[in-house]
Chain A
């Protein structure tokens, strides 16, 4: 299956800082990638669908100006948390899109802690 590299694995930073998370599809051309947020002991919450060469599609309630997504190539999507605050602390996970009977493949996630 596809290999997805996500980094950084851990980020600790001060409130007000902007943080960029990268998601790379290493062996698969991903026209679509997904960004999820996961709170402790909870399920995945889909934040947005990242589309190569076009604007991302955000889920209801997700602030597009807060969570900037760029998908400039078939192998890289980035999520930037702008002016991060403690309530943005969470585990963020990306995945490749998939089609038909193929599974989505996930990165290892990024633990973001805002002090």
Chain B
């Protein structure tokens, strides 16, 4: 069975600084990896995904994520944080060889950008 770990419950970053939200995964075979963001009292919004190809993938709102197969990681990054980036972030994984498997989510990381 697959699993996702988000080791940090809370990440605080000063506005304008780079941010990283960590994610590691465990899956049989090759992974499909996803990042979602959740604002208060809202559902999850899709940010970006890694399927294959370039290890650095770019998504919405200036976010990007780097896939590292040897470290089984898929950390979310942004070069310069905005106060509006404050939200709850979820990493998710699905094994590529089980196409209809539901996504497995991490426990979430609350990102707070300090003005």
Contact = CB atoms under 8 A, between A and B. Distances in A.
Interface string B90-115: 10000010011011011110100000
A34 B43 contact: no
Interface in A72-100: 91, 93, 95, 97-100
B51 A101 contact: yes
Majority SS at the chain B contact face: loop
Contacts of B42: 108-109
Contacts of A105: 46
Nearest to A6: B43
Contacts of A97: 100, 102
Contacts, number: 56
Given A43-B108, A46-B102, A103 B34 contact: yes
A61 interface: no
Given A41-B110, A43-B107, A100 B99 contact: yes
Contact of B43 (A4, A49, A98, A101): A4
Nearest to A49: B102
Interface in B20-71: 32, 34, 36, 41-46, 49, 51
B29 to A, nearest CB: 13
Contacts of A49: 102
B90 A44 contact: yes
B44 A93 contact: yes
